[in-house]
């Protein structure tokens, strides 16, 4: 199966061991700072921090690159759009294209900012299993429970959904193979034809998913799951000194980026 965008890489680096809540807060704060600060110097500080964090994560470059490659076209699109449409005194004009030094500068800045943003975000998802991330988000969302937002239930839903994505992909593959064995063709024909060819795949997949959801709900009830009840965890989240240190370091980096 292909790696989806910045898929978790099992490892045991310092970053892997940090509390997901601390990582999430640090990454969110950095992302906000990235958008607040608009100078190359500030960007350079954040880029250096992101690269350092990435080096600490111990994730192989190939693993990261495979996840990042599909995003390249987005970066390229950002660059081209900025070059073409940015204001400034053009030194070259052709039809609707006006190249200016200001435009080039802006395009370079925005594309670089996007790259750094993706790098920062992927350090989080590369070093944090989705289950831990969901647990962390549920904890951070707890204040919302005063507003009667069922945060724990939402977190459970997300966890279950994530858990079943690989299962559904395997089932999707099996169903597509079975229909191909009966002559189905998903690769040729126009858009309408190809959309119609998905009916024999999507109907069984939906039926199967609903059946599975039904069975899972029954199994959970049989094991005494009650919505709204207080639940304990096998691996309770525990923040330590290193998590505190992460937040301090992040704050320092953000300040440095804002001040240079």
Residues that bind another protein (CB under 8 A): 1-3, 171, 174-175, 177-185, 199-201, 203-204, 207-208
Compare residues 97 and 169 and give the one whose CB is closer to another protein. Answer: 169
Closer Cβ to another protein, 153 or 173, answer by number: 173
The least distance separating another protein from the CB of residue 175, rounded to whole angstroms, comes to 5
Residue 62 CB, nearest approach to another protein (Å): 10
**Quick one: 1 or 191, whose CB is closer to another protein?**
1
Angle at 10 between CA 253 and CA 33, to 5 degrees: 20
Least distance in angstroms from the C-beta of 174 to another protein: 7
Instruction: Compute the least distance from the CB of residue 215 to another protein, in Å.
Output: 14
Please, which residue, 144 or 207, has the CB nearer to another protein? 207
Q: What is the DSSP letter of 91?
A: E
Residue position matching structure tokens 């089932």: 171
Smallest separation (angstroms) from another protein to the CB of 181: 4
If the CB atoms of residues 160 and 208 are measured against another protein, the closer one turns out to be: 208
DSSP secondary structure of the chain: ----TT------SHHHHS-HHHHHHHHHHHHHHHHH--SHHHHHHHHHHHHHHHHHHT--HHHHHHHHGGGHHHHHHHHHHHHHH--S-EEEEETTEEEEHHHHHHHHHHHHHHHHHHHHHHHHHHHS-HHHHHHHHHHHTGGGGGGT--HHHHHHHHHHHHHHHHHHHHHHHHHHHHHHHTT--SSSS-HHHHHHTTHHHHHHHHHHHHHHHHHHHHHHHHTT--TTS----SS-----HHHHHHHHHHHHHHHHHHH-
Least Cβ distance, residue 170 to another protein (angstroms): 12
Q: CB of 97: closest distance to another protein in angstroms? A: 42
Query: Residue 148: which region, alpha, beta or left (left: phi > 0; alpha: psi -120 to 50)?
Result: left
Q: Is 61 or 181 the residue whose CB approaches another protein more closely? A: 181
In DSSP notation, 52-71 reads: HHHHHHT--HHHHHHHHGGG
Give 183 or 228: the residue with its C-beta nearer to another protein. Answer: 183
């Amino acid at each position: 199966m292909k790696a989806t965008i910045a898929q978790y890489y099992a490892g045991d680096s310092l970053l892997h061991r940090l509390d997901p809540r601390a990582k999430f807060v640090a990454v969110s704060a950095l992302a906000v700072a990235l958008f607040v600060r608009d100078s190359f110097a500030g960007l350079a500080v954040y880029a250096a921090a992101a690269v350092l964090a990435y080096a600490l994560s111990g994730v192989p470059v190939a693993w990261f690159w495979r996840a990042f490659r599909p995003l390249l076209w987005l970066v390229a699109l950002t660059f081209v759009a900025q070059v073409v449409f940015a204001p400034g005194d053009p030194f070259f004009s052709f039809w609707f294209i006006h190249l200016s030094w200001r435009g080039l500068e802006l395009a370079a800045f925005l594309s670089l900012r996007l790259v750094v943003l993706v790098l920062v975000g992927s350090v989080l998802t590369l070093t944090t299993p989705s289950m831990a991330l969901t647990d962390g988000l549920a904890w951070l969302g707890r204040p919302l429970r005063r507003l009667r937002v069922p945060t724990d239930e939402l977190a459970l839903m997300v966890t279950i959904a994530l858990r079943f994505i690989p299962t559904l992909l395997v089932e999707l593959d099996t169903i597509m193979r079975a229909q191909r064995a009966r002559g189905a063709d998903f690769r040729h024909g126009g858009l309408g034809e190809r959309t119609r060819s998905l009916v024999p795949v999507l109907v069984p997949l939906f039926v199967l998913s609903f059946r599975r959801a039904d069975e899972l709900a029954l199994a959970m009830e049989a094991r005494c799951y009650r919505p709204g009840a207080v639940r304990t965890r096998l691996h309770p989240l525990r923040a330590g000194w290193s998590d505190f240190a992460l937040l301090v370091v992040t704050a320092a980096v953000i300040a440095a980026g804002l001040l240079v």
